[in-house]
Amino acid sequence: MFFFDVVYSNIFTHSPVTTKVGYINSKKDTHFNLVFIGSSRVANHIVPSVFEEELNLSAINFGVMDARPKDMLVLIKALDTWNITYDTLYVQLDYYYNSFDRSNFMYYEMLPYTNLLPLQSYFESEHDNLYIEYVPFYKYAANDSKLGVRALVKEIITKESMFEDSKGFVPLYGTGNTWKRVLPDTVPSKGNPYIATLKAYSESHKLNVKFFVAPFREDVENLRFIDSLKVRLPDLINFSTKITQGEYFKNGYHLNNEGAMKFSKLFAKYLKEK
């Protein structure tokens, strides 16, 4: 089993990348002016080429589907481990501020890196965390549907990264999806421990980290939640109502490609004026 664990891990962490975490790994020992992390509301919203054209600064989109505060914390630590440096790191926060769970997407994408990253705290709440850490090949056998032979073959035959040309941006197309987001009523009374740890980590490592919230469509409910979030994070950059028209949204909380271009230009303009 040890042999197969080594083979699988080597392929997943060194082959042309098909996952966002793999893409991030491929950028080790690189410096960027602007780095963006967060959930799909970063992956589908931030167009790095717009920031580069508007500001003449290097930019990269490290957004991971469904990423939550727990995932963002481990991502920031991974950037340090892989020596990915930056002038400013922008972290997208919204209703996931109320989440203390991890992303399923991030969980699967991180598993091949358990021997390469300080991930013990990320997996410690899993019921099988000791098996993940100490039993060779367990993490692949137990997650065969995501990390089995089919995924392995895909890694082997993929010639180019699906994220390289867009620098991590994943566009969505179309409009009219009626699904809308209902935001929570308020933030947790004690805040989010992962965000607190992220802020403390950033301060202790002298990292320039800023928080922002991306736009929602006009039919979002409980938008006052963002006001509560801003009480917790007074420096939060609030774009939640800057683009609201349905023509720019794939659904209630994801911009389409046209909306992402518009938002990225708006964000770049904000940074230019600052």
Instruction: For 236-249, write each residue's pLDDT tens digit.
Output: 999 999 999 999 99
d(CA 212, CA 204) in angstroms, rounded, equals 21
Query: CB-based burial of residue 137 (10 Å sphere; 0-12 exposed, 13-18 middle, 19+ buried)?
Result: middle
> What whole-number distance in Å separates Cα of residue 253 and Cα of residue 160?
30
The answer to whether the beta carbons of residues 10 and 223 sit under 8 Å apart is no
Q: What is the mean pLDDT of residues 254-271?
A: 98
Inter-CA distances, 66 with 59, 108, 119, 189, 207, Å: 21, 12, 18, 23, 24
Convert the pLDDT of each residue in 113-131 to its tens digit: 987 777 777 888 888 988 9
Q: Which CATH class is domain 2-273?
A: alpha beta
Asked whether the beta carbons of 209 and 169 are under 8 A apart, the reply is no
pTM of the full structure: 0.95
For residue 142, pLDDT beyond 80? yes
pLDDT tens digits, 201-211 = 999 999 999 99
